[in-house]
Amino acid sequence: MPLTAKLLFLAMAAQVFLAMAILVLMARERVPRVMRGEIPVASIAVERDAYPLKARLLSNSFDNQFQLPVLFYLGALLAFFSAPGWPEVLLAWLFVGTRYAHAFIHVTKNHVGHRFLAYASGLAVLVVFWLWLVLRLVVLAPSI
């Protein structure tokens, strides 16, 4: 497997591990409270309001890992199976970096301005990633 393919795969794995880490942190915040009876199951069956702020922030951050990252995974898989180059690798890692920054901000200070900047940066990188993919795979690809 070429180095670029390995690095692209590792970027996808890093994004997956981010979602898993947030899930573990969220479970550590939620499950003990429910098990101790602090939060009745009926109060969380539909809404998250009964959870403390930290658990809600983690939950929202986890939900965020299934928004823009879904478009990233799709693009990364297309790139992975079409001989990825260094532009895809660089853009993939930039995107993942913005997702880590966004998640960190989300679950710590939750400063909305900083969080939005991280989100918008990730979106911009993702747009460039997809524009590059279209250019490389459709426009620059040799015709058969």
Q: Which residue has the higher pLDDT, 85 or 142?
A: 85
Q: For 59-82, how does the pLDDT look when each residue is reduced to its tens digit (9 = 90+)?
A: 999 999 999 999 999 999 999 999
Nearest to 59 by CA among 106, 99, 15: 106
Going from the N-terminus, what domains does the chain have, and what CATH number goes with each?
3-139 (1.20.120.550)
Average pLDDT over residues 88-98: 98
* Amino acid 144: pLDDT: 57
Q: For 20-71, how does the pLDDT look when each residue is reduced to its tens digit (9 = 90+)?
A: 999 999 999 999 999 998 888 888 888 888 899 999 999 999 999 999 999 9
Average pLDDT over residues 102-115: 96
How many whole angstroms separate alpha carbon 7 and alpha carbon 105? 26
